[in-house]
Amino acid sequence: MKANQSNLFEAVCIIAANDSPSDTAFSRNKGRSRQEDRTVEVFPVGDALVETEWQPFIKTIIRVTRRTLLHSAAIGLWDQRGEVAYYVSSAAGFPATDWAAVIRGHLGIENRNHYVRDVSCDEDKSRIRDNPGIMARARSFALNIMRKNGVTNVAQALWNSALSLDYILAYKAI
């Protein structure tokens, strides 16, 4: 949830600040000179949004607090950063561990799809202004074919495909 819905965002922040979470989950990930602590808190909305247009749609508020320590090899010190993110859902009754898994899974979509489109396919640099959706669909089609054929390095596959038509024709999904 972002602050572009300012009234809803403010209401969500107030509910999370004033109420106690119904469930909490904590996780710690370590690796590559980095440690990330995540706290997931679940707040049932109940009647808290009764006066708003969102009341029939939002049943649960999820607050994720991330605290990350990054080790700098150059200076040997740890740098700390943190953020708080809010999520809302029309579903209710799930434990915090389930919400944590769903949120992490959504970040996986961001990494597997949007990042690949931006970096490997240069979608953000595209100069196509008339009907850009057609090229977006063509990119999706190409990425789906590559993924169906077990491609894990999209940039390398694009390079190989540009060098040899036989490489493209060897895909099973064509």
Q: Which residue has the higher pLDDT, 80 or 105?
A: 80
Tell me the average pLDDT across 90-112: 86
CA distance 170 to 174: 8
Both 35 and 55 in one domain: the answer is yes
SS3 55: coil
Higher-confidence position of 23 and 1: 23
Q: Which of 98, 114, 130 is the last residue of a domain?
A: 114
- What are the residues whose beta carbons fall under 8 Å from the beta carbon of 20, sequence distance 6 or more? none
**Do 139 and 100 share a structural domain?**
no
Range of the domain at 168: 120-174
Rg of the chain, C-alpha, whole Å: 21
What pLDDT, in 10s, does the model give residues 6-56?
Answer: 888 999 999 999 999 999 999 999 988 889 999 999 999 988 888 788 888
Model pLDDT for residues 54-65, shown as the tens digit of each residue: 888 999 999 999
Tell me: do 18 and 89 sit in the same domain.
Answer: yes
